[in-house]
Amino acid sequence: MSMLTVAEAQGRLLSRARPVAASEGVALAEADGRVLSSDVTARLTQPPFNASAMDGYALRGKDAPQPGTTLKLIGTSAAGHSFDGSVGVGETVRIFTGAPVPEGADSVLLQEDADKIDGGIRTTFPVRPGQHVRPRGQDFLEGEAVLPAGTNVDFSRLTVAAAMNHATLDVLRRPVVAVLATGDELVAPGHQPGPSQIIASSTFGIAALARKAGAEVLDLGIVPDDTAAITAAIERARHANVDVIVTLGGASVGDHDLVQATLLAAGMELDFWRIAMRPGKPLMVGSFGETHVLGLPGNPVSSLVCGLLFLEPLIRKLASLPAINRIATAEAAVALKANDQRQDYVRARLTRSAAGALAATPFGKQDSSMMKIFAAADCLIIRPPHVPELPAGAACEVMLIRPDLVG
């Protein structure tokens, strides 16, 4: 099977991804970042009455068209404590922001536009009928569909949902991603590795990336290079009806790489395997019906790069969330050598010039086993296949590792 380009592989993976349609109800406090599965309609009218927008005096606008009008003060209306009477000719009520405008009044005079006199006020500014009054229903009306299905809930949408008197929201179920690490050489963090063993690390980065993308994670743990153990773990994931199975390591075809053969024996349909990229060439993509399978390389840096390129966009599509734009343009801080047939993802730091332009400086060592370099990197310089040497100062495309840090 020949190697696919990164773009071809991404296209094939995402073309068969269908967003999760199942929904569930969640408490309002848990709905941030979720996608609404149905319209959210107002259960009441807001504001529920004509309300004052300012501190001042409620009155009839036609009673004070010119400064110098005297009005009799007959009461007070405060938030939560309305004035029960009615405002008549030549009368006013002291009112505070958010309080109901009394019956008969249609305007609010700012408190600084009135002088207090014995038993009332004298206006010092003309009153325009309707001024500083928020009409009943100005924000929304009972029964109005304010948040349509498909809306991504955030802080402002949580606020309006709460104001519409919703304690729970119906949202799309999050995609569930099962993560399985394989290899006789792996031990969990906190354990003492044997003479030929290393600490399993990729699971934690991939799980965090999956959660950040909008998924729930089922950790299948670490299994040895054993067909029966791998089969049992895969069956556990399938029994849990997960949306994506991610394996870490063993997806190649060496003597000790059993994952691909085991998955095929369990009924997986192999879509493609091997990508023209560096790092991450051994990526495998397949499926069990509607369950996606991603076989990521065991090398932690390779698995994380593949996670950014393939797992994150897959999860975002399954979760009905917009894709994250990680692509930007920067200047190459140093000359970049010509490339071969594989697309390179070169770890680099980003800085800004005095003029605000981004500059990408690659790390001197790019060995895919070096995790601390990935942790220190801000971006991956993308070097397409067969491109010639790029001189220092020329524009290059970069993939942002932390896009929120680049304004």
Cβ atoms of 217 and 248 closer than 8 Å = no
Is 165 in the same domain as 212?
A: no
pLDDT digits (tens, 9 = 90+) for 115-148: 999 999 999 999 999 999 999 999 999 999 999 9
Residue whose tokens read 């006789």: 184
Domain count, the chain: 4
The region that residue 170 occupies, defined by phi over 0 for left and psi between -120 and 50 for alpha, beta otherwise, is beta
Mapped onto helix, strand or coil, the DSSP state of residue 355 is coil
Residue whose tokens read 């799980």: 207
Q: Is residue 311 assigned to a domain?
A: yes
Buried-exposed string 63-87: b where 16+ CB fall within 10 A, e elsewhere: bbeeeebebebbbebbeeebbeeeb
What is the pTM (predicted TM-score) of this model? 0.89
Q: Smallest Cα–Cα separation from 180: which of 215, 211, 206, 212?
A: 206
Q: Is residue 1 assigned to a domain?
A: no
CATH at 143: 3.90.105.10
CATH at 228: 3.40.980.10
DSSP string computed for 48-63? SS-EESSSEEEE-GGG
pLDDT digits (tens, 9 = 90+) for 186-242: 999 899 998 989 889 999 999 999 999 999 999 999 999 999 999 999 999 999 999
Is 118 in the same domain as 158?
A: no
pLDDT digits (tens, 9 = 90+) for 324-358: 999 999 999 999 999 999 999 999 999 998 788 89
Mean pLDDT of 43-66: 97
Q: Is residue 26 assigned to a domain?
A: no
pLDDT of residue 250: 73
The domain in which residue 166 lies consists of 32-45+139-172
